[in-house]
């Protein structure tokens, strides 16, 4: 497994690289944002510090996510809730604040990689209707293509972000099932920190707006949300 570590502090980078390599990781190091964005992508995960000397880490996160689907974890000293929300909105899969325990970081790395792999079909999947049945979710005018990660309503494609797509896919895959806030936060963001609730509300509101009808996603006050099919 290979990781891209984006960290400007040489002491922090050296210590983390050593720890990861002792556990079998191959680590590529970028000391600034520009180097990270321009690096040749061949990683299984990106560990991104937000306090970089040349480009703000949030912008780097946005650029990396625009070009790569590799799981990305922000590993940073920024503990402000708004930084967390913005970073997750821009495509980070998880957010961990320094100082942290190495075992927690390793657990989060494993979780986001596992979740990313669960959205990918094996290369030897059979072709034809068998694949279509497993990769398409249809509810009346709504169609979700998990292979191309596209969503259409009445034939109109919706411009969903990565997290909005994952949220809608999870909910619509089990219609009428009530998912708690904790379940959704853990499944989509691999976290249960308090600020995730606000991020979840923001994403639900965005998905409802893009679907054109808030009735697709029902709020269960004090519990969570469910997907309600329309015919």
Q: What is the C-alpha to C-alpha distance for residues 110 and 104, in angstroms, rounded to an integer?
A: 10
Q: Is the model more confident about 183 or about 225?
A: 225
Residue pair 31/71 in contact (Cβ under 8 Å)? The answer is: no
Asked, as a colleague might, if the bond just before 57 is cis with ω within 30 of 0, I would say: no
Q: What's the confidence (pLDDT) of residue 53? A: 92
Residue pair 72/48 in contact (Cβ under 8 Å)? The answer is: yes
User: pLDDT tens digit string along 104-130?
Assistant: 999 989 888 887 765 554 444 433 343
Q: What is the C-alpha to C-alpha distance for residues 148 and 129, in angstroms, rounded to an integer?
A: 16
Look up tokens 């002491």; give the residue: 11
Q: What is the C-alpha to C-alpha distance for residues 178 and 184, in angstroms, rounded to an integer?
A: 10
Q: What's the confidence (pLDDT) of residue 191? A: 61
The dihedral of CA 35, 37, 43, 48: what is its sign? positive
* Distances, alpha carbon 24 to alpha carbons 1, 75, 215, in Å: 7, 20, 48
Give alpha helix (H) positions in 72-219.
Answer: 81-89, 102-118, 129-135, 162-172, 181-189, 196-211
Q: What's the confidence (pLDDT) of residue 190? A: 67
Does 93 score more than 60 pLDDT?
yes
User: pLDDT tens digit string along 122-168?
Assistant: 444 433 343 333 357 788 899 988 767 789 999 899 999 888 988 89
């Amino acid at each position: 497994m290979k990781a891209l570590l984006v960290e400007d502090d040489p002491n922090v980078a050296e210590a983390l690289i050593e720890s990861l390599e002792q556990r079998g990781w191959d680590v590529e190091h970028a000391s600034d944002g520009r180097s990270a964005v321009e690096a040749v992508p061949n990683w299984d995960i990106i560990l991104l510090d937000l306090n970089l000397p040349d480009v703000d880490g949030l912008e780097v996160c946005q650029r990396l996510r625009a070009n790569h689907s590799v799981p990305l974890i922000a590993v940073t000293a920024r503990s402000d809730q708004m930084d967390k929300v913005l970073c997750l909105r821009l495509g980070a899969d998880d957010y961990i604040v320094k100082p942290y325990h190495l075992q927690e970081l390793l657990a989060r790395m494993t979780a986001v990689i596992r979740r990313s792999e669960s959205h990918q079909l094996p290369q030897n999947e059979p072709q034809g209707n068998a694949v279509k049945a497993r990769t398409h979710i249809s509810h009346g005018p709504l169609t979700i293509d998990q292979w191309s990660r596209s969503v259409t309503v009445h034939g109109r494609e919706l411009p969903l972000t990565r997290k909005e797509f994952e949220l809608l896919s999870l909910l619509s895959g089990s219609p009428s099932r009530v998912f708690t806030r904790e379940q959704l936060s853990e499944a989509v963001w691999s976290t249960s920190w308090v600020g995730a609730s606000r991020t979840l509300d923001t994403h639900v509101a965005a998905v409802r707006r893009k679907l054109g009808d808030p009735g697709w996603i029902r709020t269960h006050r004090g519990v969570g949300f469910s997907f309600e099919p329309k015919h």
